[in-house]
Amino acid sequence: MAFTYAISGGDWARIAPELALLVAALLVMLVDALIPARLRGALVIIGVMGVLAALAGVIMLYASSGSPSAFGGMVTSDPLALFATLVILAATGLSLLLSPGYIERQGTRQQGEFYALVMLAATGMVLMAASTNLMMIFLGLELLSLPLYVLCAFAPGQQRAQESGMKYFLLSSFASGFLLYGMALIYGATGATNLGGINHFVATHAMSATAGFGPILLGGMALLAVGLAFKVSAIPFHAWTPDVYQGALTPVTALMSVGTKMAAFVALIRVFDVALAPVRADWQGIMWALAILTMVGGNILAATQTNVKRLLAYSSIAHAGYLLIGIALGTQAGIAALLYYMAAYAVMNVGAFGVVLALERVAGLGTNLDDYRGLASRRPALAAALAVFLFALAGIPGTAGFVAKYAIFAAAVTGGHAELTIIGVVASMIGFYYYLRVIWAMYFVPAPDMPAAEAANANPHLSLAGLNSAVVTKLAASGTPLAFSAGLALALALIGTLGLGIFPAPLISLARQAAGLP
């Protein structure tokens, strides 16, 4: 039978956010080729406008009626996709605002390419979250991954950044191979790549682990779990995370830590909690074990770190463990809690990386724990902001992190898995230790004298000759004021972190709607 398919205007409207981001990326590249080099710092404005246009598209889709499915069931604009898009847009917008001054300080001339790659990566993240077909999930994954490979190695002349990009490329390529082979096996077992078709086949056919297509389906599920677990940095597929996060430019790290996770977790929800829901008993134990390993292992490994970017990388792994609880539960309440957690994590984690970025930009430091000693006396506003973000990541009441952890642990208890809550609370107590180490260093440890070599590195226009202790002390204690865009990004992240902790109801309502709850 011949295949016929017609694309309508409604199909294009359903991917309005993706189109807005794509058009912004193309405009950045076009304008970059036409304007003089001294004006290229303003290209970020086009990126931010693209994010705002995509946000307008999300609002339009929330208000629209009719079937959310588009392009023959390949993508959707259902509440789950729209909620994920909001989180990804928030992370993208904040990362763009944090970038201009930092990129200039790095001596990067290809600012247009940087912003275009960020927009293309965001397009892939949104597309992956909206996909309802295995092939589209893979397409979205590759579209977000390819720009990130380049972005991780974007810092010119920095060996650590180039190593970061190469490591992410190699390991991610292996993970993509696992994912694609798993998709092939699932197609071989069910005869479908559409998630609805997979669900229908699995629900209407008895699957045996030792006969028929059962072993093929189980193999496909295992390979899919490996590929997506890599993207969310679940243990034992986490080894790339600290090295890549440390070596990449900090705005890229901030975007990766949220956007990639959001897209991958939505894919996990659609594949396991929706398409493969009839065989939950076959995969639930794997997700249960991944959640425990990740939240316990991530916190323990973070407690040993003295580099703040690596500490936040292992913290990101630990939070992936808490989020995996929502997948392991396989309930609508668990999915709603996961979505709210992801939104809260977006503002507090991007905010924390934003402070690290600000310190790197101001004094050329900000990566080692010793660099945070006495920060409260040198940069009180930055110290206070970082303290709020770290308290939120730890789950202190009054912040978004507390509400997020309460929601996910409450869903585990009501879902009959109180053991996950107990283990999660114990793991969180370990997290208090390393978050408070940073806060203690900022407020209760005196600032060290900056070595002359580090002072010269902080300001490459200075020479080591003639640097005396008075000059070094002045350079260490002072700093260029934050760029307006970076200050705005930190302020927005701070408002979100506190606002979602004090007034969580509107976002919880959106998360419940996305999970299919009233």
- The tens place of each residue's pLDDT in the chain, 518 residues long, gives 455 667 777 788 899 999 999 999 999 989 888 887 777 777 888 999 999 999 999 999 998 887 888 888 889 989 999 999 999 999 999 999 988 877 776 666 677 888 999 999 999 999 999 999 999 999 999 999 999 998 888 776 677 777 888 888 888 888 888 999 999 999 988 888 889 888 888 888 777 666 667 788 888 889 999 999 999 989 988 888 888 888 888 888 999 999 999 999 999 999 988 888 888 888 888 999 999 999 999 999 999 888 888 899 999 999 999 999 999 998 899 999 999 999 999 999 999 999 988 887 544 456 788 888 888 888 888 899 999 999 999 989 999 999 999 999 999 999 888 999 999 999 999 989 999 999 998 888 887 765 444 444 444 333 333 333 333 333 344 445 677 888 899 999 999 999 999 999 999 999 999 988 87
DSSP string covering 395-450: T-TTSHHHHHHHHHHHHHHHTT-HHHHHHHHHHHHHHHHHHHHHHHHHHHSPPPPP
Other beta carbons less than 10 A from residue 495's beta carbon: 12
pLDDT number for residue 481:
65
pLDDT number for residue 99:
86
Other beta carbons less than 10 A from residue 59's beta carbon: 14
Sign for the CA dihedral angle at 28, 31, 36, 39 comes to negative
pLDDT number for residue 212:
63
DSSP string covering 25-90: HHHHHHHHHHS-GGGGGGHHHHHHHHHHHHHHHHHHHHH--S--EETTTTEE--HHHHHHHHHHHH
Residue tagged 């900000």 (tokens) = 366
Q: Which of 274, 329, 232 is nearest to 133 (CA)?
A: 274
**Local structure of residue 38 (DSSP, 8 states):** G
pLDDT number for residue 171:
87
pLDDT tens profile 371-428: 888 888 888 888 999 999 999 999 899 999 999 999 999 999 998 889 999 999 999 9
pLDDT tens profile 462-472: 333 333 333 33
C-alpha 485/C-alpha 44 separation (Å) is 10
The answer to whether 248 touches 165, Cβ cutoff 8 Å, is yes
Amino acid letter for position 196:
G
Q: Which of 492, 197, 200 is nearest to 350 (CA)?
A: 492
The answer to whether 92 touches 122, Cβ cutoff 8 Å, is yes
**Local structure of residue 157 (DSSP, 8 states):** T
pLDDT number for residue 347:
94
**Cα radius of gyration (the chain):** 23
Both tokens of 413, joined, read 């208890």
The answer to whether 289 touches 328, Cβ cutoff 8 Å, is no
C-alpha 180/C-alpha 392 separation (Å) is 37
Query: How far, in Å, are 154, 160, 282 from residue 165 at the CA level?
Result: 8, 9, 36
pLDDT number for residue 473:
39
Paired with 69 in beta bridges are: 76
Both tokens of 108, joined, read 């990067």
DSSP H helix total and E strand total for the chain: 23, 2
pLDDT number for residue 366:
62
SS3 307: strand
The answer to whether 95 touches 350, Cβ cutoff 8 Å, is yes
Other beta carbons less than 10 A from residue 494's beta carbon: 20
Q: Which of 359, 395, 383 is nearest to 500 (CA)?
A: 395
36: alpha, beta or left, given left = phi > 0 and alpha = psi -120 to 50?
Answer: beta
The H-or-E segment that residue 70 falls in is: strand 69-70
Cα 482 from chain centroid (whole Å): 24
Residues contacting 444, CB < 8 A, separation 6+: none
C-alpha 160/C-alpha 166 separation (Å) is 10
The answer to whether 102 touches 251, Cβ cutoff 8 Å, is yes
The answer to whether 320 touches 233, Cβ cutoff 8 Å, is yes
Paired with 76 in beta bridges are: 69
Burial class (CB in 10 A: 0-12, 13-18, 19+), 38: exposed
Both tokens of 9, joined, read 């205007």
C-alpha 434/C-alpha 239 separation (Å) is 20
pLDDT number for residue 457:
44
